[in-house]
Amino acid sequence: MGDDVRIAVIAGNHYNSIDGDRKIAEDLRKVVWDLEVTECILVTDGGAEDEFILPVIQSHVSVSSVQRVIVNQMPNLEGTYYIIKKVLDDPKHAQSILVPFGLVMLIFAIGSLLGTTELAVFIVVGVLGIYLLFKGLGIDEYFSLALHGLKESFIGGRISFVCYIASIFIGLLGIVMGLSSFLTWYTADAGVLFYLLTFIYGSVGYIVAAILIALLGKIIDVIQNEPKMLPRVITLPFFVTGLGLIAYGASVYVISLPTIEGFPIDGVDGIRIMMLTTVAGLILAFIGFYIQKVLQKVEKYAPEVKEKSSKRFSRH
């Protein structure tokens, strides 16, 4: 073409993008100064980092054209690689992706070494399913909030910290008792609902007790630090206890059906227990709702009473 051209190879830093941009800018400044360049043609491999490099080059010399050369490589494949790499470089995303898969592979490896591959596959699928269920329903966020509240109560020296720790141990005991109940009343012909209710039958008392202990600590903290928030939390123990009673009655009724042998409660008594616990649960829920309304009214009229009493004293 008759143009006087020079070829300059400039590279950045693969491990640090900021240092890489600085190195490119410094090398380009030397090339422009030594060769008295007025414009350039940028030749790249079409990588995803071009959008970051191009402004650096344009700040020193005019770019008349950009030529992308792809060698034995697809642009979409490389772009996907950089997206995955950027996601994994973020510690938050890396923990949520790498930790569960690492744990799954570790469990499978241990199970294979012990010669129980089928059990390892069962555990791996179960752990992965629980993880996906927690992420999909957002249950992990509740755990994060619980850990944050536990940390704040510990730093603040509040009594709720002791209650939270006690509730954790009682909750774990409830899970163990629920699994024991599941194994005790397990039958091959039953469905998923029956298995769930057998677990609830053994664990509901402990889990409700754990939640009530945690709520007791929370209520004490609210009374000491934020009395205005009391109407919002005072109903929770009543609702939790009511739901626990209803769940217990439903589990007793299902397990006491004639198809289950060895259960100490027969079908008729199971129906009675379910009806009594359901009524008691609803009554507790209404009591909690009534107490909440009373506290809200007291809180509403308390400032007015206080203001009137202060006016009386000021007149005297």
pLDDT single digits (tens) 166-212: 888 998 899 889 888 888 877 767 777 888 888 889 899 999 999 99
For residue 312, tell me if it sits in a domain.
Answer: no
**116-118-120 Cα angle (round to 5):** 70
In a shared domain, residues 37 and 165: no
- Note the pLDDT of residue 13: 67
Residue 24 lies in a domain: yes
**Do 273 and 223 belong to one domain?**
yes
The whole-number mean pLDDT for each consecutive block of 10 residues of the chain, a chain of 316 residues, reads 74 69 82 81 70 78 76 58 66 68 76 70 71 69 70 73 87 88 76 82 92 88 80 86 92 78 76 91 90 77 49 49
Residue range(s) defining the domain that contains residue 70: 17-77
Whether residues 129 and 217 fall in one domain: no
Shared domain check, 292 and 168: yes
What local confidence, expressed as pLDDT, does residue 305 receive? 42
Q: What is the mean pLDDT of the chain?
A: 76
Which pTM was predicted?
0.56
Tokens 């008759």 correspond to what residue?
A: 2
What pLDDT score was predicted for residue 75?
Answer: 55
- Residue 71 has what pLDDT? 55
Q: How far apart are CA 199 and CA 187, in angstroms?
A: 13
**Claim to verify: residue 243 and residue 96 sit in the same structural domain:** no
Last residue of a domain, one of 50, 77, 104: 77
Domain total of the chain: 3
Token pair, residue 205, equals 């008392």
Q: Are residues 32 and 176 in the same domain?
A: no
5 assigned to some structural domain: no
H-type helices in 226-266, by residue range?
A: 230-233, 236-255
Listed in order, strand segments (DSSP E) in the chain are 39-44, 62-68
What residues contact 26, with CB distance under 8 A and at least 6 apart? none
Residue 305 lies in a domain: no
Share of the chain above pLDDT 90, in %: 11
Same domain, residue pair 133 and 151: no
Torsion of CA 85, 91, 96, 99, to 10 degrees: 90
